[in-house]
Amino acid sequence: MINIQLSERQEKIIDIVKTNQPITSEEIAKKLNFTRATIRPDLAILTMSGILDARPKVGYFYSGKEALTFFQEQMKNMSVSDIKSVPIVVDEQTTVYNAIVTLFLEDVGSIYVTSDGLLTGVLSRKDFLKNAIGGIDLNKIPVGVIMTRMPNIVTIAPKESVLDAATKIIEHQVDSLPVVEEVNLNSKNGYKIIGRVSKTNIIRVFVDLCNNY
Ligand code: ADP
């Protein structure tokens, strides 16, 4: 516990930070109707005593558990469209051999498959390995034969959160999710692939949060 005597104004600052974090000193001053210069010594005391945490370019946090709250908020507020990457897509008629070449050239772990522009399947590294050691004719067999097929594909919408994506990846034990939009193409309902969110995208969020704040 903190055993320094806090002034009424310092207590007020703590309350403001708790409910508005991250918050800049300017915003705190505005809420209290003081100038920034007036509250500067208070903020210095509160940060030096470890009650508040100051992060450059972000603002003040209430320390301790609240830092974790910040991560939770970021995971919930950041959307899949903020972090998605370009999907690598092949047509169902593509041969397994050509899809493997694509996997290497594009340096990805999974490839999405479409037919008439709509999502029909997913191919992962293990799908290729399993079939390659199984001895199928890689140059003849189209990916449509070996892929995981709709409706068994776990997808995500661009407006869903990073936490939603991470949860689906963990629950379904997959490496990536196609980011999709529901469309009607040539009077067929289905999903148009607009991106890809993988474990790497999610780890990048953590690395960025740790490095930037
Ligand atoms: P790896 O094969 O490298 O372990 P995954 O864990 O992503 O990669 O794939 C495991 C299995 O799940 C594969 O058969 C793959 O086709 C399938 N799969 C991959 N992504 C999805 C997804 N988003 N929805 C449904 N199935 C998927």
The region of weakest confidence among 39-53, 123-137, 156-170, 191-205 is 39-53
Cα of 121 vs centre of ligand 1, distance in Å, is: 10
Q: Partners of 155 in the beta sheet?
A: none
Cα of 169 vs centre of ligand 1, distance in Å, is: 10
Portion of the chain with pLDDT greater than 90, in percent: 78
Residue whose token pair is 């806090």: 6
* Confidence band for 2, pLDDT divided at 50, 70 and 90: very low
Q: Atom of ligand 1 at shortest distance to CA of 110?
A: 7
The region of weakest confidence among 133-137, 166-170, 191-195, 197-201 is 133-137
Determine contact, residues 70/22, Cβ cutoff 8 Å.
yes
pLDDT of residue 64: 60
Residues found in the chain: 213
d(C-alpha 192, C-alpha 194), whole Å: 6
Q: Partners of 113 in the beta sheet?
A: 90, 121
pLDDT mean over 140-155: 97
Nearest CA to ligand 1 atom 5: 174
Q: Is the CB of 109 under 6 A from ligand 1?
A: yes
Nearest CA to ligand 1 atom 8: 124
Q: What does pLDDT average to over the chain?
A: 92
Q: Is the CB of 154 under 6 A from ligand 1?
A: yes
Residue whose token pair is 């920034």: 36
Tokens at 130, concatenated: 């399993």
Q: Single out the residue of 85, 90, 117 nearest to residue 102, CA to CA.
A: 90
Q: Atom of ligand 1 at shortest distance to CA of 109?
A: 3
CB-neighbour burial class of residue 84 (10 A; exposed 0-12, middle 13-18, buried 19+): buried
Helices and strands: H and E segment counts in the chain = 10, 8
Q: What is the tens place of the pLDDT at every residue in 75-87? A: 999 999 999 999 9
Q: Is the CB of 122 under 6 A from ligand 1?
A: yes
Region of residue 135 (phi > 0: left; psi between -120 and 50: alpha; otherwise: beta): left
Q: Is the CB of 153 under 6 A from ligand 1?
A: yes
Cα of 5 vs centre of ligand 1, distance in Å, is: 57
| Backbone phi and psi for residue 178, each to the nearest 5 degrees, phi listed first | -75, 135
Dump the DSSP string for 7-56: PHHHHHHHHHHHHH-SB-HHHHHHHHT--HHHHHHHHHHHHHTTSEEEET
Cα of 212 vs centre of ligand 1, distance in Å, is: 32
Region of residue 23 (phi > 0: left; psi between -120 and 50: alpha; otherwise: beta): beta
Mutate to test the pocket of ligand 1, among 126, 130, 199 (most ligand atoms within 8 A of CB): 126
Query: What pTM does this model have?
Result: 0.74
Mutate to test the pocket of ligand 1, among 174, 176, 196 (most ligand atoms within 8 A of CB): 174
Cis amide prior to 22 (ω within 30 degrees): yes
* Confidence band for 65, pLDDT divided at 50, 70 and 90: low
